[in-house]
Amino acid sequence: MEGSPCLISLACCTPSSTAMGEAFDVVIVVDSIASATSTPACCDFTARFKPSLSHCKIQIVVNDKRIPSLDGCLDPKTGDVRFIHSNTTKPSPELLREAVLSVASKGRNCLQYQALTKEDEILSIADAHLFVWELTDKVFVSDIDGTLTTSNLRGIVNTVMTDNFQQDASTLHHGICNFYENFLQAADQHNVTVRLVYLTSRPLELASVTRRFLTTVAQNGVELPAGPLVGHPGTLMDVLNSELFKRDIHRHKADRLMRFLRLVYAGAGATADSSPLVGAIGNTMTDTTAYEMGGVPLNHIYLIDPSSRIRCFDTQGLGGASHGEEQRRKQSKTASPMRPIRSHRSYKRLMNTTFEGYDDPSFLDHARRML
């Protein structure tokens, strides 16, 4: 396996009295001439302790090695990590090449944020993963609740409130782990490296329990492939407000795809008309909207229902995939927020090919065509 044999948590080297923060994963994309760019740091310590944020220092540790050139501080207003050298949440390409890539290997690495007092006493630690990808790597996006799990509610109950996903086989859609493993192997046979991204609307405060689920769940001895966890940077109340009242959670996911992936690839040298996104799967029309807004071709988007039946939007008409790309180009030239490309009714009319679950052989054959 690529990268370090990263544990779920670095608690073994964390003092028992130290409070644990939360963090989403980070991706570094490098090109053939060693140019590099990364996704922003997204972590939170304020939910676990209440120190004077303006006096906190942040240390970055990758694979048990501290990187002094990436020392930072906490923004006293937001609690975001800001690197001292740039006053941003993203290190410069030079620092990534000289500091991070000297200790990180291709694939998954251990990442830890340490919040310290002025006297260098550790107040809190947030564990995450750091992924190093190449510019030529492609990305497949997977939702979590209702997509890996058989329902949104069961996904939350059995992976957050309890650990029942270990004993309750019905928590997951049958065959999901085997499908992802076979799909990535099929990509390798085509000389294409595909990376999996777990995109969710779960808030930052659930990052640790969600990551634990993703890195420990297995079906018949087959685990989920390693991939970064990307979620909502706000609180649980922010997510509920967005989903239940504003009904704009699709904008969050589309924004994550644009900022977390496409812009980072562009910063590493990808051309404006290229996209690393080869496909995506979700369980709601909201997911479909977000994926197409974020740059996934519509005929490469799959929708799964509670019975594990999977549909693909591969009916030609209503503008097709080219219509979606044209709409994205128009939106990228304006300062207005991204808008849904189609109505839910239009999406339903475009649903065509049906597969009987992740273990349907024809589903894997269909997914291979994206490569």
pLDDT digits (tens, 9 = 90+) for 100-119: 989 999 999 999 999 888 88
Average pLDDT of the segment spanning 360-364:
97
**Phi and psi for 327 in degrees, rounded to 5?**
-65, -40
Which of 287-301, 324-338, 356-370 is predicted with the least confidence, judged by mean pLDDT?
324-338
User: Which residue in the block uniquely carries the two structure tokens 């329990």?
Assistant: 209
How high is the pLDDT of residue 339?
60
pLDDT digits (tens, 9 = 90+) for 159-203: 887 776 776 778 899 999 999 999 999 999 999 999 999 999 999
264 has pLDDT over 70: yes
Highest mean pLDDT among 51-60, 78-87, 139-148: 139-148
Q: Between 316 and 277, whose confidence is greater?
A: 277
pLDDT digits (tens, 9 = 90+) for 53-72: 556 789 999 999 999 999 99
Q: Between 76 and 50, whose confidence is greater?
A: 76
How high is the pLDDT of residue 52?
55
pLDDT digits (tens, 9 = 90+) for 325-350: 554 454 444 334 456 678 888 898 99
Q: Between 343 and 137, whose confidence is greater?
A: 137
The domains of the chain, with CATH numbers, are 11-134 (2.60.40), 138-368 (3.40.50.1000)
Q: Within 10 Å of residue 259's Cβ, how many Cβ atoms?
A: 14
140 has pLDDT over 70: yes
Average pLDDT of the segment spanning 137-166:
86
How high is the pLDDT of residue 5?
46
How high is the pLDDT of residue 332?
45
Is 252 in contact with 260 (CB distance < 8 Å)? Answer: no
User: Nearest-CA neighbor of 228 among 5, 12, 7, 28?
Assistant: 28
11 has pLDDT over 50: no
Q: Between 93 and 277, whose confidence is greater?
A: 277
Name the average pLDDT for the chain: 84
pLDDT digits (tens, 9 = 90+) for 218-249: 999 999 999 999 999 888 888 877 777 777 78
How high is the pLDDT of residue 340?
66
User: Nearest-CA neighbor of 327 among 302, 295, 299, 357?
Assistant: 295
Question: How far is Cα of residue 345 from the mean position of the Cα atoms in its chain?
Answer: 28
How high is the pLDDT of residue 18?
65
268 has pLDDT over 70: yes
How high is the pLDDT of residue 13?
42
Q: How buried is 42 (Cβ within 10 angstroms: 0-12 exposed, 13-18 middle, 19+ buried)? A: buried
